[in-house]
Amino acid sequence: MRSPRLLVPTAAAMLALFTATACGATADKEDTANAGNGKPATGLRLMVPNTAGGGYDTTARVAAKVMDDAKIATGVQVFNLPGAGGTVGLQRTVNEKGNGKLAMQMGLGVVGATYTSKSKATLTQTTPLAKLIEEAGAIVVPKDSPYKSIGDLVTAWKANPKGLAVGGGSSPGGPDHLLPMQLAQTVGIDPKDVNFVSYDGGGELLPALLGNKIAFGASGFGEFLDQVESGQVRVLAVTSEQPIEALKDVPTLKSSGIDLVFTNWRGIVAPPEISAEDKQVWVDALTRMHDSPEWKAELAKRGWTDAFVTGDAFATFLTDQDKAVADILTKLGLAA
């Protein structure tokens, strides 16, 4: 099944991770945020459910900075609560029922992790706020890799699929898992033979790549831009339909003769049962952020595709994604 610009594979086999929970207390109802009066919102906290340095972390910190620079919200606190593919953070979010000052950065990876990690908390329990962006994936190797092109890598991979480890910054069922599984299937490798190593976000994936613990990485290209610029890693191909402005010299899979397009997405949810007023504070702040020239500049700089929707539209999208991923993972034996 296809979500907007996201291809989901039809075969995969990986071990599931186990989830943990983290308790939280509901924040008090002091008037720390302002909605509809033109003043910057205050007192907002944005949780990143995996390690620093990954795609969720980058997105959350860019959003917080833009809101601060544009005087949309001041002092937005971004903090990390990693574990179990994002479901530790999800459990914390669900536990914070009624806390309208808290939100969680998330995306497709958390959708899949709720099933593969057998999480008690689900995204359907949260309050959807906004979908922000879509981002193409990238196939990345360390600077000293023997593979100079995606063709070189695929040739070696097909010759020894179990011998070439591929790493991703998400748990089984997440985008970094779905991408190499679908790439394998597209080039004629049985996904069951893929040696996939799961890392909790790009912050853990990058050191593994730089340390040659894996042959190549599959993740959102934005997670590697700094390392590409410094020459530490090389991007062999991106998974978008068209070339990425931020990586002008990197071919797409399609232009390299591999018929695959894959795009991830990221959004923000809040705890259950927040007030209508608190929800509106978040939606208003995120809408103003989206409309700001500062955010548009970040989209262009990072090669992110604008995919902004809020409220009910995002809730419908999230429900559809949840069902699609659940159906597929159930067929693959990765979800009950």
DSSP bridge pairs for 252: 238
Q: Determine the pLDDT at residue 1.
A: 33
Q: Determine the pLDDT at residue 219.
A: 93
Q: Would you call 127 helix, strand, or coil by DSSP?
A: strand
CATH class of 45-133+266-332: alpha beta
* CATH superfamily entry for domain 135-256: Periplasmic binding protein-like II (3.40.190.10)
Contact 45, 63 (CB under 8 A): no
- 331: how many CB neighbours lie within 10 A of its CB? 12
Domain ranges of the chain: 45-133+266-332, 135-256
188 CB-near residues (< 8 Å, 6+ apart): 158
Compute the distance between CA of residue 270 and CA of residue 174 in angstroms, rounded to an integer.
20
Q: Would you call 213 helix, strand, or coil by DSSP?
A: coil
Model pTM score: 0.75
Report mean pLDDT in 10-residue bins for the chain, 336 residues: 37 31 39 60 97 91 98 97 94 98 96 92 96 95 97 98 94 86 91 90 90 96 90 96 90 97 94 98 98 96 92 94 80 72
Q: Give the residue ranges of DSSP H helices in 199-310.
A: 202-210, 225-230, 276-291, 293-302
Q: Would you call 83 helix, strand, or coil by DSSP?
A: coil
- 306: how many CB neighbours lie within 10 A of its CB? 12
Type of residue at 45? R
The alpha carbon dihedral of 126, 131, 133, 137 has a sign of positive
DSSP bridge pairs for 168: 198
Q: Determine the pLDDT at residue 166.
A: 97
Contact 237, 139 (CB under 8 A): yes
Compute the distance between CA of residue 73 and CA of residue 24 in angstroms, rounded to an integer.
23
- Decide whether 45-133+266-332 matches 135-256 in CATH topology: yes
Q: Determine the pLDDT at residue 47.
A: 98
DSSP string, 128-197: EEEEEEEEEEEEEEETT-S--SHHHHHHHHHH-TTTSEEEESS-TTSHHHHHHHHHHHHHT--GGG-EEE
Q: Determine the pLDDT at residue 332.
A: 64
Torsion of the alpha carbons at 25, 271, 293 and 302, rounded to the nearest 10: 90
